[in-house]
Structure 1
Amino acid sequence: MILAEVVRSGFVESVHHGSVVVLDAAGRVAAAAGDVTGPCFPRSSNKPLQTVGMLRAGLRAAEPADLALMSGSHFAEPFHVDRVRRILAAAGLDESALRCPPSLPLSETERDAVVRAGGGAAPVLMNCSGKHAGMLATCVVNGWSREDYRDAKHPLQVALAAAVSELTGEPIAATGIDGCGAPVFAVSLTALARGFQRLVDAPPGSHERLVADTMRADPELVAGTGQDDTRLMRGVPGLLAKGGAEGVVAVAVPGVGAVALKVADGAMRARMPVLVSALRRLGVAAAVLDELATVPVLGGDLRVGEVRAAW
């Protein structure tokens, strides 16, 4: 299904195929395109569901905002890196315990700063280090081994898989290895949207609601300053958002509905225009949606076209 088109100088230059599902406030499919019942890997969009699994397994965050970072894909701004280290320190660990791969910051500004200072790639700078710090803290609480915490058969990962399956209401179709080395669980887009809806509609005090509330309270910890997830949660009251690699994003608005989508070719630039189109079908309106409805195509320094929703 064609979800978005790239228009340059008035001509359709290319298109992006994919799938998208829109659930109404009751969890019913209100609109859909493409394959929304077959499994896909949501990549980092799984993270909030995995954080619920950590809480169910006994994790207790030293500060509520820690849960936002554990559920996010941070850009390694100083406040991100500092909080990862604090999460580890509260568990009696340091960054040497992390098993995510060394990386430079996703933020170009921070990447340049690290290089200028003579630094290099490090696990703590990797965008998933918050999740990994949470996984390690959960292992410490339970007395589980830490060296192999990424193994899909580890008690931690078994517990997280059970949480993802229960929250999405669907058996996990496949378990893969994510870019950070930890397991990633395949579910359908409909199930993913259902899981996010569970988080925002959960009663206060529940693990699900705690994760949703902390992410929405500190959206800069979920992504970074000026990033899409951050802007969406700052700009739409109550909205929960988490993107994933290879063109995935899932959002939910309490009492309104939820959306999950995947761009088939993995293009990240098509996600926001399609998401805006989906949210407008639910009657959601906000200035930030107008800002994200198209992505500029540049020719030199001039805007010569745009990526826009075709669905």
Structure 2
Amino acid sequence: MNHSTTLPRRAPGAPPEIREPAHVPVAHVVRGGIVEGVHHGSVVVLAADGSVEFRTGDIEAAFYPRSALKPVQAVGLLRAGLPPLDEESLALVAASHSGEERHLATARRILATSGLAEDDLRNVPDLPYGTAERDAWIGRGLGPTRLAQNCSGKHAAMLLTARARGWSLDNYLDPGHPLQWEIAAAVEDLTGQGIAHVTVDGCGAPLFAVSLHGLTRAAARLAKAAPGTDEGRVAHAMREHPELVSGSGRDVARLVRAVPGLLAKDGFEGVQIAALPDGRAVGVKIADGADRARMPVTAAALAHCGIDPDVLAAFATTPVIGGGTTVGTLRAAGALAPPATDAG
């Protein structure tokens, strides 16, 4: 559906152009000293003043942020009237959770604050996202449920907000629903640009196309927001509870724990944002959607922000395995990598 027919225009900037993005090589898969594979993508690094400090690829084309947009959607829900939640619950609103018991319990708690239940959710039923959680779930003979699906926290908050505002519940995922208009307004405000297109995300919620530059600008605004503001509340909850935003042992949670003050969120199809309290921020899109390239490229982008390479070392490469042993690495390449580390 076209943005111009479904959403009110409230952004100061025009929507990004819908075109084939001009992605460039951003990561190499090196096996036995030879570049075996190349991941293309786009990366932007913003300085504290919001200016573009580094860019490679196409950061202005319209794209889908997928779940990396959830922190912005959480701000939109607060602006729309989401009732007060504890920090853990607010972190889950911005989460792509693994389906651990604490994730499910927190989602139930959000629903219960307004007498809602899992049956009120309209997200797509799924198995837990985390590998260990999924295996244990299947081992118990359980099937897909709406609560186990990784976006259940966001959907619970959408229902809670709709009920608080007296809006209909059954169609809260309709792009024309007043709840989604409010969320779209926050997306346009925080990215500083119009929404180029609206489609449906994997969970069933409306998905708004912006640019990688715009998404990263929004991340920076959240990261440097004053305490007590809607943006600041979301950022604080995510920083304090990164395992609720993702899951135990997930790379995004480990990165937040490793870099003090970092705000970070991943998304399907190789999307990652990360931002520091002074407004420095990075945005990553891997063209082929490969998750394995997302974190090494993000680590290289954060190095451009001045983060200590020793802190980033654990995230900068992924082992390439042959015969049960490490025979190479997946690492950042092209303009992201120093010449000395980009050789085959």
TM over 0.5: yes
The residue that corresponds to 1:218 in the other structure is 241
Q: Hey, what does 1:83 align to over in structure 2?
A: 106
Residue 292 of structure 2: SS of its match in structure 1? coil
Which of 305, 310, 313 is the equivalent residue of 1:290? 313
User: In structure 2, what is the equivalent of residue 178 of structure 1?
Assistant: 201
1:222 Cα deviation from its structure 2 partner = 0.4
Q: Report percent identity of matched pairs.
A: 52
User: What CA distance in whole angstroms lies between the structure 1 residues aligned with 2:179 and 2:241?
Assistant: 26
Which residue in the other structure is 2:20 paired with? none
Matches of 1:168 and 1:62, distance apart in 2: 25
After superposition, the Cα gap between the structure-2 partners of 1:40 and 1:138, relative to the gap in structure 1 and judged at 3 Å, is same
Q: Does 1:114 align with 2:146?
A: no
Question: Aligned partner of 1:68: which letter?
Answer: A
What CA deviation, in whole Å up to 9, does each residue of 1:218-245 have, x standing for no partner? 0000000011211111110000000010
For the 8 Å contact 1:42–1:187, the answer to whether it is kept is yes
Does 2:67 match 1:44?
yes
Query: What one-letter code is carried by the residue in structure 1 that aligns with 2:315?
Result: L
Counterpart-to-counterpart distance in 2, 1:276 and 1:69: 24
Q: Matched residue of 1:250: which SS?
A: strand
The match for 2:52 among 16, 29, 32 is 29
Please give the secondary structure, in 2, of the residue aligned with 1:123. coil
Quote the residue 1:199 is aligned against.
222
Cα deviation code 1:58-102 (max 9, x no counterpart) = 112331221110101000001001111111011210101111111
Given the alignment of the two structures, is residue 270 of structure 1 paired with residue 270 of structure 2, yes or no? no
- Structure 2: runs of 5+ lacking an equivalent: 1-23, 337-344
Q: Return closer, same or farther for 1:105/1:122 CA change in 2, 3 Å cut-off.
A: same
Q: Give, in whole Å, the separation in 1 of the partners of 2:84 and 2:203.
A: 22
Q: Which runs of 5+ in 1 are unaligned?
A: none
| Contact 1:201-1:209 at 8 Å conserved across structures | yes
CA distance in 1, matches of 2:38, 2:186: 36
Whether the 8 Å contact between 2:41 and 2:284 is mirrored in structure 1 is yes
Give yes or no for contact 2:223–2:279 (8 Å, CA) kept in 1.
Answer: no
2:328 to 301, 305, 309: 305
Q: CA RMSD in A?
A: 1.0
Range with bigger deviation, 125-134 or 100-109: 100-109
SS of 1:60's partner is coil
**2:36 counterpart of 1:18:** no
- 1:147 counterpart residue number: 170
Amino acid at match of 1:226: G
Q: CA deviation at 1:256?
A: 5.2
Please state if 1:234 is matched with 2:269: no
Distance in 2 of aligned mates of 1:91 and 1:299: 53
Matching of residue 158 in structure 1 with residue 181 in structure 2 = yes
Output the amino acid matched with 1:92: G
TM-score normalised to structure 2 length: 0.89
Deviations 1:110-163 (A, max 9, x none): 112212222111110000111101111111110111111111111010100000
1:286 deviates by: 6.0
1:178–1:184 CA contact under 8 A, matched in 2: yes
Q: In structure 2, what is the Cα distance between the partners aligned to 1:35 and 1:67?
A: 33
**Larger CA deviation: 173-182 vs 296-305:** 296-305
Partner of 1:6: 29
Q: Does 1:57 align with 2:90?
A: no
TM-score between the two structures when normalised by the length of structure 1: 0.98
CA contact (8 A) 1:62 1:90 kept: no
Contact persistence 1:232–1:288 (CA under 8 A): no
Which of the numbers 252, 272, 276 marks the counterpart of 1:253?
Answer: 276
Distance 2:221 2:85 in 1: 24
- Determine if contact 2:303/2:309 at 8 Å carries over to the other structure: no
Matched residue count? 311
In 1, Cα distance between the equivalents of 2:312 and 2:249?
14
Q: Extract structure 1 runs of 4+ deviating beyond 2 A.
A: none
**How many Å apart are 1:287 and its aligned residue?**
4.7
Note the alpha carbon deviations across 1:188-212, whole angstroms, 9 max, x for none: 1111111011001111110000000
Q: How many Å separate the matches in 2 of 1:162 and 1:108? A: 35
Tell me how far apart the structure 2 counterparts of residues 51 and 13 of structure 1 sit (CA, whole Å). Answer: 40
